[in-house]
Amino acid sequence: MAQSGPPHFAPDSPQTRLGGRDAPFEILARVGRSLLETDDFEQQLALTLSLATEALQAGRGSVMVFDPELGELTIRCAHGLPPEAIDSRRRFGEGISGWVAANREPVLLHGGVLDERFEGADPTIGSSLSLPLAVGGTTLGVLNLVRRTDERFTEEDLSLASSLADLASVAIEKARLHTALRERESRVSDLLAAVIRAQEQERRRIAGDIHDGFLQDLSALFLRAEIAKSHVEAGRPEEAAEVLVALQEMVRAQMRGVRDFILQVRPPALDEVGVGPTLRMMVERIATENSIEATFEDRTGPGRLPRPLETIIYRTAQEALRNVVLHAHARQIWVDMSRGEREVTLSVRDDGRGMGSDASSGHERRNHYGIETMRERVELTGGRLHIGPWAGGGTEVVAVIPIDAVD
Ligand SMILES: Nc1ncnc2c1ncn2[C@@H]1O[C@H](COP(=O)(O)OP(=O)(O)O)[C@@H](O)[C@H]1O
Ligand SMILES: [Mg+2]
């Protein structure tokens, strides 16, 4: 089957085969109509291949899609090829398909492929047509059609297939844009839902803190005031004054508490001096209040990070540290921030008792949203959150967040 010498390019053939008995115009009209049937990218590729193999009576065929970022063509649908052919790749510019994609010119070949342009091509190939799928200046892929050697493609076949490929290209590009738009829309609505969820969880937590903290303390204040009142009514002004002094002290403590609470909800330092110094203050405060040894290292270098990124890092550190204080029984905490070329890494490690097996099973853990919210917030940016045991004993939380994710 293989023959030596250069490949035959479009030999003239008296037997014109145009997809059975139909004239090219009729075939193309039918192809054009069919291509309007779907706006789904994958379906459009499959449709293109089935229309082309039928119209050109090709025993084998494939549609390859070009990925400009990888510089590769990938077989996305195939006819008459072994299943493993799907997803096989070709470098742009290499082999027949690579050449066709790079030069945006069709190629008709017969017999053994010994043409030096197509190095690496299957030498047992029969008669083949490879057509660029392209719109304007954009290469979308390649349509390959193959017949047995004794049923060679003709010049007319080439011309019909080229017109078909041009029609299909427009339809494929339209479907590609349509599908990309749909994916984008669904990503945006996922994102919106996640943002709303994270916001609601944060509000729930704040509401819980106000309930457990301030509301109970206020009831205690009210009770003291009642006692003072009854002393006054009973004509015991000295006792009343004593209670009032204690009450004043309680109010003062409350005011401090409210101030701290506001700082935690949204520390002004985060806007004023950035996440590094704000985290340092937070770590120092936690260390003093809980008698834990804590070290904080900021290796992000000079200059501020994008503001939304700073907020995400701060919130992540805040929840991780809150968990250490509430659950870990740690003696030591290490907080570290570093900056790579494309991402910022935050790690919070403790030497406490570890998470145990109960922590991750979210189903039974109603009202425990800390880790979930932390993870969601980081993953929304395209980052990763790891939480688990580490070599130093205790628990580590490591968040890796792309720098350009938010701005
Ligand atoms: N640093 C830690 N050390 C030990 N246990 C932890 C730590 N962080 C989290 N946990 C465990 O994981 C659980 C879930 O944490 P989280 O989702 O923040 O909810 P919550 O803090 O409200 O309980 C905690 O209840 C705790 O059992
Ligand atoms: Mg928590």
Q: What is the pLDDT of residues 240-268, one digit of tens each?
A: 999 999 999 999 999 998 888 888 888 88
Residue 76: band (very low, low, confident or very high) from pLDDT cuts 50, 70, 90: very high
Select the more confidently predicted residue: 58 or 117: 58
Token pair of 239 as six digits:
């006792």
> Would you say how long the chain is, in residues?
407
Q: Quick check: CB of 359 below 6 Å from ligand 1?
A: yes
pLDDT at residue 146, as a whole number: 93
Q: How far is the CA of 322 from the centre of ligand 2 (A)?
A: 6
- Whether 27 contacts 163, CB under 8 Å: no
pLDDT at residue 124, as a whole number: 62
Residue 153: band (very low, low, confident or very high) from pLDDT cuts 50, 70, 90: very high
Is the per-residue pLDDT at 6 higher than 50? Answer: no
Is the per-residue pLDDT at 107 higher than 70? Answer: yes
- Whether 145 contacts 128, CB under 8 Å: yes
Q: Quick check: CB of 357 below 6 Å from ligand 1?
A: no
Q: Quick check: CB of 328 below 6 Å from ligand 1?
A: yes
Q: How far is the CA of 166 from the centre of ligand 2 (A)?
A: 58
Range name among 23-27, 72-76, 245-249 with the lowest pLDDT average: 23-27
pLDDT at residue 103, as a whole number: 94
Q: Quick check: CB of 53 below 6 Å from ligand 1?
A: no
Q: Quick check: CB of 325 below 6 Å from ligand 1?
A: no
Token pair of 343 as six digits:
């991402």
Residue 196: band (very low, low, confident or very high) from pLDDT cuts 50, 70, 90: confident
Is the per-residue pLDDT at 370 higher than 80? Answer: yes
Write the burial class of residue 216 (CB in 10 Å: 0-12 exposed, 13-18 middle, 19+ buried).
exposed
Residue 22: band (very low, low, confident or very high) from pLDDT cuts 50, 70, 90: low
Residue 1: band (very low, low, confident or very high) from pLDDT cuts 50, 70, 90: very low
In single-letter form, the type of residue at position 224 comes to: R
Dist. CA 372–CA 317, nearest whole Å? 14
pLDDT at residue 371, as a whole number: 92
Range name among 6-20, 36-50, 269-283 with the lowest pLDDT average: 6-20
Residue nearest atom 24 in ligand 1 by C-alpha distance: 359
Is the per-residue pLDDT at 142 higher than 80? Answer: yes
Q: What is the mean pLDDT of residues 134-155?
A: 90
Distance of CA 51 to the CA centre of its chain: 35
Dist. CA 115–CA 147, nearest whole Å? 19
pLDDT at residue 333, as a whole number: 97
pLDDT at residue 339, as a whole number: 95
Token pair of 266 as six digits:
């949204």
- Whether 373 contacts 198, CB under 8 Å: yes
Q: What is the mean pLDDT of residues 350-375?
A: 74
Q: Quick check: CB of 94 below 6 Å from ligand 1?
A: no
Q: Quick check: CB of 355 below 6 Å from ligand 1?
A: yes
Q: Which atom of ligand 1 is nearest to the CA of 322?
A: 21
Average pLDDT value for the chain: 86
Pocket probe for ligand 1: among 205, 318, 355, 367, the residue whose CB has the most ligand atoms within 8 Å is: 355
Longest dimension (CA), the chain: 125
Q: How far is the CA of 321 from the centre of ligand 2 (A)?
A: 9
pTM: 0.60
Q: What is the mean pLDDT of residues 36-44?
A: 90
pLDDT at residue 392, as a whole number: 84
pLDDT at residue 17, as a whole number: 42
pLDDT at residue 15, as a whole number: 38
Is the per-residue pLDDT at 296 higher than 70? Answer: yes
Q: How far is the CA of 361 from the centre of ligand 1 (A)?
A: 11
Q: Quick check: CB of 333 below 6 Å from ligand 1?
A: no
Q: How far is the CA of 107 from the centre of ligand 2 (A)?
A: 64
Tokens 């929304």 locate to 380
Return the DSSP state at 340.
Answer: -
Residue 115: CB atoms within 10 Å: 16
10 three-state secondary structure? coil
Is the per-residue pLDDT at 280 higher than 70? Answer: yes
Q: How far is the CA of 194 from the centre of ligand 1 (A)?
A: 21
Dist. CA 175–CA 62, nearest whole Å? 18
Q: How far is the CA of 318 from the centre of ligand 2 (A)?
A: 9
Dist. CA 208–CA 266, nearest whole Å? 17
Q: List helix spans (H) across 234-360.
A: 237-265, 268-272, 275-290, 307-323
Select the more confidently predicted residue: 365 or 105: 105
pLDDT at residue 123, as a whole number: 58
Ligand that comes closest to the CA of residue 321:
1
pLDDT at residue 3, as a whole number: 41
152 three-state secondary structure? coil
Q: What is the 3-state secondary structure (H, E, C) of 169-238?
A: HHHHHHHHHHHHHHHHHHHHHHHHHHHHHHHHHHHHHHHHHHHHHHHHHHHHHHHHHHHHHHHHHCCCHH
Token pair of 87 as six digits:
């997803």
Q: Which residues lie across from 91 on neighbouring strands?
A: 72
- Strand 293-299 relative to strand 332-339, pairing: parallel
User: Using alpha carbons only, how large is the chain's radius of gyration in Å?
Assistant: 35
Distances (CA, A) of 62 to 78, 130, 245: 4, 10, 88
Is the per-residue pLDDT at 11 higher than 70? Answer: no
